[in-house]
Structures are given as C-alpha cells and as structure tokens.
Structure 1
Amino acid sequence: MGRTAIVTGAARGLGKAIALALRDAGHRVAANYLVDEAEARQFQQEHGIPVFRWDVSDAAACREGAARVEAELGPVEILVNNAGITADAMCHKMSEEQWWSVIHTNLGSMFAMTRPVVEGMRSRGFGRIVNISSINARKGQVGQCNYAAAKAGILGFTKALALENAARNVTVNAIAPGYCDTPMVAAMRPDVLEAITAGIPAGRLGTSTDIARTVVFLTDDAAGFITGATIDVNGGQYLA
C-alpha cells in the first residue's frame, strides 16, 4: 500500500537514493531541498518526484512545508530525516557559527520536522520515522566535534521518541551510515579518502543504494516490531 513520505535533503546523495527507493516501493514521495534550485528541478523533471523547498533548521518553515506536502500528497506516514551539513574545524579553532549551523541543521531538524507530523501518525495508528545518523556518532572524528555531537544526539532522540510512540504503531529508528560514495565524501582529498577506504573491512565505500535499501526495509509495514534501533551500515569499519 502506497503511503506519503517526506525525505529531507533529497535532491542529491543519500537523500536522492532514498527518495527513489521509496518511490520504487510504491510510495508518494516529497523530496525536500534547500540550496540548489536547478538541481532540485532537474531531479523532479527526471524522476517525477515533486520537490519542496524549505530550511529544516527552521521550525516554522518545517510546519509550513509539511502542511504543503499533506495538502498535495496526503497525510505523511513516513518521514526520513536525512538532511545534514558539515562545517569542519578543530574545536579550538571552530567558530560559533560553525558549531550552531551544524547543530541546528543536523540535530534541531529532528524536532522541527518530526513535530508537525507525529501527532497525525499517532492518531492514525501508523508511522515510520527513520533518522540518518553517522558512523562518526559512534566513534567520533577529528575536526568534527559539531557533526559528531549532532549525529550522536540523533541516537538519543530516536530512542526517546521510539518509546513515546511504540504503543501507537509509530516506529522510530536510526541508520548510522559509514563512508559512502556521496558528494560530501567525494569532496575529500584523495589521500584521505584512500586511507579511509583502506580501513573498511569490506574493502569499499558504501553506496547510496546500501542506505536506501535499509530505509525501505525499516519503513515497510512488516517492520513494525523494530523500533528504537540504530542500524550500522558501514562495511565493518566500526562495530558498536
């Protein structure tokens, strides 16, 4: 049965793959984006998935965006909180703007996006929320105190929200991807990327499809007994 899904940060990278996989699973997908208008419109034209622009770090914008999606596609029953940014620096050199921009976008968006849709999920007796965290939430990373803190906060948010909603058939899970072949990873220096790949027991970077398949599994009706979990998809690089 097709349901309405929102995927944040969906015009590229992991979000794009997740949006396509959910569409292929039969769902009506709303692809959220913020920055690149041309890229988003090309995505919509190529794949037939409607795009919606709003800033996930802005709670009012999230309320308005979710309302637009529900008016056009129907009640939101699947939410994938994927949008995220980096602003790397060693902590002793990190600016307040670098810290707060990552915290607000990567962690604050969890509440800002979930709050407008979770009441409807509870009242209808069905919901699937998947929050995209990171391997660096598990192990930390030099130069990413802001990013690691935000992504680790997602894991606590996921567990608490799962407990609050389990009795209403609303599941809440997290995925902690390892290093994948996304534009964010591709922007790394070649020597750094080579060293990272050498440390992955599977012998390769992950793919966006690896993560998207996991999202499709967790959002399926049959996954109703899995909640509060964090699924590590990292090729064995870090074992929690």
Structure 2
Amino acid sequence: MAKKNLKVISLFSGAGGLDIGFDRAGFKTAVAVELDPSCCDTLRTNIPDLPIINRSITEVSAAEILEAGNLEVGEAALVIGGPPCQSFSLAGMRKGLDDDRGKLLFEFVRIVRETLPKGFVLENVKGLTNWDKGRAMNLLIEELSKPIVFNGVVYKYQIAPPRVLDAVNYGAPQFRERLILVGNRIGKPYEYPKPFETPHKTVWEAIGNLPEPDQPSETAKRVAGCIKDRIEKYGY
C-alpha cells in the first residue's frame, strides 16, 4: 500500500501525540474528532490543513467523519485513539463502565464498525485490563470481533492479544505503561514491537540541549489558569 493511501481517522485526538507517531510511521491523519477546544487549537496550529470535528464523539456520526476526511467506507487504513481513561485508571475512582467516560470505549467500537478501516489501534491505561476482573476488556474485544456485513460482504477483525507496553523501553525518557489493542480485517498477524536493547534514555539526554525557556506568554498563563476548569469540564 502506497504511503499516500495510509489515511487515518483519529478519535479522542487530544493535542495530537498519537497522530505525530503515526505521521512519522508514514500515515496521514485525514480527520480528527476532539472535544476539548484547547486541544483543537493545538491541532490546528501544528496541522493546519487537518479537518477537525470539535464535538463529543457521541454527537458525531460515522458518515460525518467520513465526509470530513473525504473518505469512503473501508478506505481508511486505521482508526486510532485513546478513549478517556480516568474511569479505569488506578489513580482514579475506577467506576469503569459505570462512568459515562468509560462508556466512550464503545464509541470507538462504533466508529470502527461503521467506517470499516483496514485496522485499528486503541490506547488506554493499564487499569483497563483488570477492571471488574477483566469484564470491560473482554466486552471490548467481543464487540470489536463481531462480524460486519457491508455491501453483501462479511468482514471480521482479527485482534492481537492486548499488551501493556512501557514507553521507557522504546526511547521515551519516562516510565509510562499503556495498554495497546491492535486489530485488522485483512488477515495479517500482528506482533508488538520488541523493547529496545539500548539503556533507558534520561530526560537530560532527551531535552538537555534545549535553549533556556522564554518567560511564559500571556496565552500560556491563561491556559495554566484554566486547568482546574478544564478538569471539571473534560475530566483531565
């Protein structure tokens, strides 16, 4: 598949961290869906030509996403995203599927099933694996594995066993464990990347050569001052 055809539908895009990684791997985000307006501003600054739907995914149809990304059903290479993780995080109250944010996992499933990408990558916290003895994880895999009939053809996603990966093992100067779930409908077995054999990178090695920072701008001060409000509105 030519790189120009590796189009991505990005859900729960945040400031675009996952998109940057896929861009560096040869993919191109065709459309992003993100609720937080501050994150959307960041996306527009860094990816000026990216179509962004600034609404809750619960209010957005698959048809609208496809239209915004100039895509047909089945054309996207991937749907990617990290649905809100607070409901499953070990640092939170762990209400899981009893929390509206936890139920957003199945909005990811809906968009995958209705846009029919060739594959998907879902990222979330480690705590999703053991919430309610694995019930959420099992239900998620069950829903993603159900056959899909489109234009008389039956499609089914082959899902690799979920894996918890630690970013520090792949060159990031941070211990950050995240659950990764990968699936595809083209019959390709998937193997998760092996950890680097090199020593862990330190923060100084990563950013120690950056110049001294400027004084924070008025915009930075404004954003810092609204963090509490954003947590109350968006949960992070």
Bin of the TM-score, shorter chain as denominator length: 0.5 to 0.7
Residue aligned with 1:76, SS: coil
1:198 aligned partner: none
Q: Confirm or deny that 1:52 pairs with 2:53.
A: yes
1:225 aligned partner: 188
| Structure 2 contact 33–53 (Cα < 8 Å) conserved | yes
2:227 aligned partner: none
Change (3 A) 1:76 1:158: same
Segments of 5+ residues of structure 1 without an aligned counterpart are 122-126, 182-202, 235-240
Shift of residue 154 of structure 1? Answer: 1.9
| Structure 2 contact 8–28 (Cα < 8 Å) conserved | yes
| Structure 2 contact 80–121 (Cα < 8 Å) conserved | yes
2:69 aligned partner: 69
| Structure 2 contact 8–27 (Cα < 8 Å) conserved | yes
1:8 aligned partner: 11
Residue aligned with 2:70, SS: helix
| Structure 1 contact 5–76 (Cα < 8 Å) conserved | yes
AA paired with 2:126? I
2:127 aligned partner: 136
Residue aligned with 1:112, SS: helix
Q: Confirm or deny that 1:205 pairs with 2:175.
A: yes
1:86 aligned partner: 86
1:1-240 matched pairs, under 5 angstroms: 1-2=2-3, 3-12=6-15, 16-30=16-30, 32-48=32-48, 50=50, 51-58=52-59, 60-71=60-71, 75-87=75-87, 88-89=92-93, 99-106=98-105, 108-118=106-116, 121=117, 127-140=118-131, 149-160=135-146, 171-173=158-160, 175-177=162-164, 205-206=175-176, 225-226=188-189
| Structure 2 contact 10–32 (Cα < 8 Å) conserved | yes
Give TM-score, length-normalised by structure 1.
0.54
* Same amino acid, percent of matched pairs: 8
AA paired with 1:225? K
Shift of residue 160 of structure 1? Answer: 4.0
- Structure-2 separation of matches of 1:151 and 1:233: 23
Segments of 5+ residues of structure 2 without an aligned counterpart are 149-153, 196-236
Residue aligned with 1:66, SS: helix
- Structure-1 separation of matches of 2:128 and 2:193: 11
- The structure whose Rg is larger is 2
- Structure-1 separation of matches of 2:18 and 2:112: 18
| Structure 1 contact 8–33 (Cα < 8 Å) conserved | yes
- Structure-2 separation of matches of 1:18 and 1:100: 24
Superposition misfits of 4+ residues, deviation over 6 angstroms? none
- Structure-2 separation of matches of 1:177 and 1:18: 16
| Structure 2 contact 83–108 (Cα < 8 Å) conserved | no
Give TM-score, length-normalised by structure 2.
0.54
Over aligned residues, Cα RMSD in angstroms? 4.7
Change (3 A) 1:68 1:159: same
Bigger helix fraction: 1
- Structure-2 separation of matches of 1:175 and 1:49: 33
Residue aligned with 2:30, SS: strand
Q: Whose RCO is larger (CA < 8 A, sep 6+)?
A: 1
Shift of residue 75 of structure 1? Answer: 3.2
- Structure-2 separation of matches of 1:85 and 1:139: 13
